[in-house]
Structure 1
Amino acid sequence: MKKLQQVLNQFKLNVLSVDDVPQSFSSTVYKLTLLDGRTVYLKIPYSREKLQREYAALTRLYHEFPVPQVLDYWEGNDDFTGALLLSTIQGVPLTGKVDTKLAYDIGVYHARLHEVVPNELDATSPVENVYDDWSSFVESKFYFFANEVKEMIHPRLYEQSLHYFNHHMKSLSSPDGPCFIHLDFRPGNIIVHENQVAGIIDFESVRIGATEMDFTKLNRDIFMKYPGTIEAYQQGYQSIRPLLDLQTILPFYRFYDAFNSIGWGKKRSFEKHRAFVEENMSILKTILVGFR
């Protein structure tokens, strides 16, 4: 609470109430009701890198795409990473069943994000351009989590994972981009109102890269759970821009996401994220059955 009060003082906020925001995994987020009746969100990222990246992304995308407006920004100090004060988007994070109408709309808005063309100023932005060395980026993320995963799964499954990764990396198609990719495009970061997309939140992982890595969490949380949604999503996406053959790219990136998610859960706290880690272990085992 001491840190929260420090940020409230920094932003000179007169607060009526403070509520925790659940399902915020990579930052501390509070919903603030101010004395003047406004509702705003206070976001305190875990690192200054994430803070600067999200600030740059939201500032860049605000006039082109429905994201929260940055109302105030504190770059922090030697003892504090800093914080963002964000506007509210009318609606709620997506939970529960997704029908084909909403899946179509998600496709439209995802394509709109990918349609934003990086410009010369973006070359100096904290939003890193990894497109030009895409294969190295994919590989570096995999091996960043590998040691954590090694401690969590059977040695034989770990060796199978390395073999699967190296085998399929060789056959990846040319990357689709460069464009802005969210890298955490999941239901919890999609704000909906009356069964329509109202906006997208949480851009602390955003990069300039290739689109194919951005479909994996939609596949895990929507396409594989609700029949007809992948077809509707594709129709919505293709109404804005061409779409890669998802049937070709999703198997590899489904494996990649499951493997990395186990490592992420281990790094952040297995006990806290046990259900998430175990879900991804099950996915990984299913994918690797019969693979030699």
Structure 2
Amino acid sequence: MILNKIIKHFGLQTQSISDVADSHSSTVYKVLLTNGETVYIKIPFNILKFHREIKAYSILEGRIAVPRLLDVWEGDDETIGALLLSELEGQPLKPKLSTLLAYETGVYHASMHAIQPPQGMDLTNIDNEFPNWTAFLDRMFYGFAEDTKKVIDPFLYEAAIQKYVEMKNDLPAPDGPSFIHMDFRPANILVKDERVMGAIDFESVRFGATEMDFSKIHRDFLSLDPSLYQAYQDGYRSIRPLIDLDQVLIFYRFTDAFNSIGWCQRRGIDQNRDFYEQNLGILKEELNVYK
């Protein structure tokens, strides 16, 4: 079994092992060691995500709160490889009405966005997409379009393509280059006692424009109450200037839903049915289509 091989390579003495829920891409295990310590084993979805996350930890360490990368296994003919990570104290952010947590989330997110491409560092596995941001948006959108087309109504698909072209032309100048998480949502934000303890899951990160990084946290947390949205913005602005979110969120909420539908098709609609239905609903809402 692959997991046993990884445990042996890392030299772990285990009490128990359990799957980590809500890991949409990679396979993650929570491991309780015989000495009482908890660590995590992460098996990335592909080799690019494997190397990208390793590079991300080298950039983020000492800058913002993240797990420590304890060890790396480069894999073999059967497995891409695995990361051994320390436990980051706390529980995933719950969608409850806490303005203090919203403020803290804004502070943390802005601290991440304040990180720019380090001078002299090889960024082979974490691309700086900012200089060609419009081309990156096109590559993301049209890259998922063929998958999305297979699982939505043709009328909805054509309306989405048209809306993308129209809205992209009205976007303001991008804000960056900044370190962007690309999956900054409550499940990846750990909190304890009304404090943000840090974030996890850096396999999709880029250097790019900050505005792409707000749609998921807004969808799953900030949109629940105006006071959360305001507190988050106040926290963010305590660290760095904030773009006009109301101007860009509509575009990025729409494209995120469209791309996520394509992602579900790639990874399997049946396994990701709830996520697919959620994003289909958002897409219809953004396009004012309810058929």
Fold shared per TM-score above 0.5: yes
Question: 2: CA distance between counterparts of 1:289 and 1:93?
Answer: 33
Matched residue SS, 2:120? helix
Question: 2: CA distance between counterparts of 1:223 and 1:209?
Answer: 22
Matched residue SS, 1:120? coil
Partner residue, 2:81: 82
Aligned ranges 1:166-177 → 2 under 5 Å? 166-177=165-176
Matched residue SS, 2:27? strand
Offset of 1:125 from its aligned partner? 3.9
Partner residue, 1:143: 142
Q: Is 1:191–1:198's contact at 8 Å kept on the other side of the alignment?
A: yes
Question: 1: CA distance between counterparts of 2:97 and 2:133?
Answer: 32
Matched residue SS, 2:214? helix
The residue type paired with residue 32 of structure 2 is T
Which of 184-193 and 68-77 deviates more?
A: 68-77
In the comparison of the two structures, how many residue pairs are matched? Answer: 290
Matched residue SS, 1:228? helix
1:52 equivalent in alignment to 2:79: no
Matched residue SS, 2:64? coil
Partner residue, 1:229: 228
The residue type paired with residue 28 of structure 2 is V
Partner residue, 2:244: 245
Q: Is 1:7–1:83's contact at 8 Å kept on the other side of the alignment?
A: yes
Question: 2: CA distance between counterparts of 1:196 and 1:129?
Answer: 31
Root mean square deviation of aligned Cα = 1.4
Question: 2: CA distance between counterparts of 1:15 and 1:179?
Answer: 39
Identity of aligned residues (%): 47
The residue type paired with residue 278 of structure 1 is E
Matched residue SS, 1:117? coil
Partner residue, 1:15: 14
Question: 2: CA distance between counterparts of 1:14 and 1:71?
Answer: 15
Matched residue SS, 1:258? helix
Question: 2: CA distance between counterparts of 1:243 and 1:278?
Answer: 31
Matched residue SS, 1:108? helix
User: Alpha-carbon deviations, 1:207-259, whole Å to 9, x = none?
Assistant: 01110000000111112223311111100000000000000000100101110
Matched residue SS, 1:250? helix
Matched residue SS, 2:263? helix
Q: Is 1:97–1:226's contact at 8 Å kept on the other side of the alignment?
A: no
Q: Is 1:104–1:232's contact at 8 Å kept on the other side of the alignment?
A: yes
Aligned ranges 1:109-188 → 2 under 5 Å? 109-188=108-187
1:63 equivalent in alignment to 2:62: yes
Matched residue SS, 2:104? helix
Which blocks of at least 5 consecutive residues in structure 1 are unaligned? none
Partner residue, 1:104: 103
Question: 1: CA distance between counterparts of 2:106 and 2:6?
Answer: 37
* TM-score when normalising by structure 2: 0.97
Q: Is 1:107–1:233's contact at 8 Å kept on the other side of the alignment?
A: yes
Offset of 1:123 from its aligned partner? 4.3
Partner residue, 2:72: 73
Question: 2: CA distance between counterparts of 1:64 and 1:233?
Answer: 20
Matched residue SS, 1:41? strand
Which blocks of at least 5 consecutive residues in structure 2 are unaligned? none
User: Alpha-carbon deviations, 1:108-167, whole Å to 9, x = none?
Assistant: 000000111222233434111111111111111111111111111111110000000011
The residue type paired with residue 194 of structure 1 is D
Q: Is 1:123–1:129's contact at 8 Å kept on the other side of the alignment?
A: no
Q: Is 2:233–2:242's contact at 8 Å kept on the other side of the alignment?
A: yes
